[in-house]
Amino acid sequence: MNQMIRILLADDHAVVREGLRGLLEQQSDMRVIAEAGDGAVALELLMSERPDVIVLDMKMPGPSAVETIGEAKRLRPETQVLVFTSYAEDSQVRDALAAGATGYLLKDALRDDLVRAVREVAAGRAWLHPQAQRQMLDWMRRPPSPIETLTARERSVLALLAEGLSNKQIARKLALTEGTVKGYVSQVLDKLSVADRTQAALLAHREGLTSAE
CB 156 within 8 A of CB 213: yes
* pLDDT tens readout for residues 122-179: 999 999 876 766 666 665 666 667 888 888 899 999 999 999 999 999 999 999 999 9
Q: What is the mean pLDDT of the chain?
A: 89
pLDDT band of residue 210 (cuts 50, 70, 90) is: low
Domains of the chain plus CATH, in order, are 5-140 (3.40.50.2300), 146-206 (1.10.10.10)
Residue whose C-alpha is closest to residue 49's, from 5, 106, 7? 7
For range 8-21, the mean pLDDT: 95
Please state the pTM of the whole predicted model: 0.65
In terms of pLDDT, which residue wins out, 207 or 199?
199
**Using CA atoms, how far apart are residues 71 and 86, in angstroms rounded to an integer?**
22
Q: Which residues contact 36 (CB under 8 A, 6 or more apart)?
A: 8, 9, 10, 42, 44, 45
- Reported as type and span, the H/E element at residue 156 is helix 152-162
* pLDDT tens readout for residues 41-61: 999 999 999 999 999 999 888
Residue 191 clears pLDDT 50, i.e. is over it: yes
**Using CA atoms, how far apart are residues 121 and 123, in angstroms rounded to an integer?**
5
